[in-house]
Structure 1
Amino acid sequence: MHGYASDNFFRGPKVYFAFGALAIGAASALRAMVVLPPMAGHVDAAALSAGAIYAALIFLYERWGWRWLSTLKNLNGTWAGEITSSHNGGARVPCVMRVRQRWTRMAIELETEQSRSRTTMAALYEEQPGDIGLKYEYVCEPRNLAAQTMQTHRGVCTMAIAEGTDGLRLSGDYFTGRGRETRGEVTLHRISRDFLGFGAALKREN
């Protein structure tokens, strides 16, 4: 996983300050209820308790808490759809995308029959009125049995996030850099909160 940028309120410094205040308050309450043993070197046991509580809060929020205690879009799961590329005259190619997301980290993989790509950086923007989306840079590698014309290349994809009748949808466009120099469109919808393999995802989609 790599870090990702976001303009969401719940990714700002105020969240860290809030956790710090909670940790200090909890440590103070613990000190009032329990006699903490003296620490070597005159280390304040209450301060250590506050640090431990703060670390635990951050860990729990990073892994799970943000899903219920923030407005950050949760994109976790398997998505299926198709790519329409300028390569091969605009042919439509089935694709599967898997998103693994935490509070501050994310990893996106996108697969087709010919290639597999993974993200190197990403941004989730939500605070612009009418403009909620995901933007990421990726590295795409051809599969072993892919056409000889395919080669490893980089690209950028920008997709809007919208609510559909069957849940969240992603749609947008991409372009690739040197070595490929193509462009196209991507449309996806989430088919599972679990992480499905390429074949299993296409089978469920069909």
Structure 2
Amino acid sequence: MHTYSTDNDNRIVVYGLLGVVSWFLIVWIGQATSLLASSVPALAGGTISWGVAFTILSKGFSQKVWKTKISRVTGASKSPDFSGEWDGYIMTSYGGDIPESALHESNAPEADMQRVAASLHIEQTWREIGIHLSTDNSESDSTGATVLTKDGRWPSLTYQYGNKPGADTEPSMASHDGTADLSLKHNGPQDVLEGFYYTGPGRENYGEMYFERRE
């Protein structure tokens, strides 16, 4: 995974609060162990350091707490949770041969652009994210990302990626870089990521992307 930027970054404030909480925690533990040491001497010297307390708290917040309701309500974290498995398709301007096995079930042969079945695997913490997209023909991994929540109606995830085609694909499917811009929406209870992508020089393809979060 790699770090991502966001327009609602409260990381400095949160780290400061975690530091204060860590200090109160070690003071409380120190007092508790001092009281117990009189009756249970083996507990003497068991106070943890501020550094250890801060590391544990910050790790817990980054992995789990950041996406809880209390973090949303307090404003400690506003970044949407994109993590999980997503299934869908890419509607592509690529004009080369696409194997039948790679096409999405909703593909229309008479359409101008073909729908290629695809899946997203997203790992995300409070500070880092990794986006892996796979199709029958190729795979791509994100190299950088930005999460925006303030402008527009829907939270968005924009990321840059490097794509590597499969060994048995045609020569026109060369390795390339690209950019994807996805919006997080809701279709009833279903989470949806949809948007568009475009590739860099050498491919110059573009298209639409649509994914639904797997339950």
TM-score range, shorter chain: 0.7 to 0.9
Which residue of 2 is the match for residue 18 of structure 1? 17
Which residue of 1 is the match for residue 4 of structure 2? 4
User: Using the alignment, how far apart are the partners of 1:47 and 1:3 within structure 2?
Assistant: 33
Q: Cα deviation per residue 1:124-146 (whole Å; 9 max; x = unaligned)?
A: 11122514110000001101111
Which residue of 1 is the match for residue 51 of structure 2? 51
Instruction: Specify the SS of the correspondent of 1:34.
Output: helix
Which residue identity does 1:156 align to in structure 2?
T
Q: Which among 85, 105, 116 is matched to residue 78 of structure 1?
A: 85
Which residue identity does 2:71 align to in structure 1?
S
1:88-127 mapped onto 2 (5 Å cutoff): 88=95, 89-127=112-150
1:39-188 mapped onto 2 (5 Å cutoff): 49-68=49-68, 69-71=70-72, 72-88=79-95, 89-188=112-211
Q: Which has the higher strand share?
A: 1
Contact 2:132-2:140 within 8 A present in 1 as well = yes
User: Using the alignment, how far apart are the partners of 2:48 and 2:126 within structure 1?
Assistant: 25
User: Using the alignment, how far apart are the partners of 2:58 and 2:121 within structure 1?
Assistant: 25
Structure 1 portions without partners, runs of 5+: 38-44, 193-206
Which one is further off, 138-147 or 157-166? Answer: 157-166
Shift of 1:18: 0.9
User: Using the alignment, how far apart are the partners of 1:127 and 1:162 within structure 2?
Assistant: 15
C-alpha change, 1:160 and 1:4, in structure 2 (3 Å) is same
Shift of 1:113: 1.1
Instruction: Specify the SS of the correspondent of 1:73.
Output: coil
Q: Mark the structure with the bigger radius of gyration.
A: 2
Q: Cα deviation per residue 1:21-79 (whole Å; 9 max; x = unaligned)?
A: 10011112222333499xxxxxxx99962221111001111222222143331111110
- After TM superposition, the score normalised by the length of structure 1 is 0.82
Aligned residues: 184
Contact 2:80-2:155 within 8 A present in 1 as well = no
User: Using the alignment, how far apart are the partners of 1:114 and 1:32 within structure 2?
Assistant: 61
User: Using the alignment, how far apart are the partners of 2:46 and 2:148 within structure 1?
Assistant: 39
Q: Cα deviation per residue 1:102-121 (whole Å; 9 max; x = unaligned)?
A: 11111111111111000001
Q: Kindly report the root-mean-square deviation, in angstroms, between the aligned alpha carbons of the 2 structures.
A: 2.2
Q: Which has the higher helix share?
A: 1
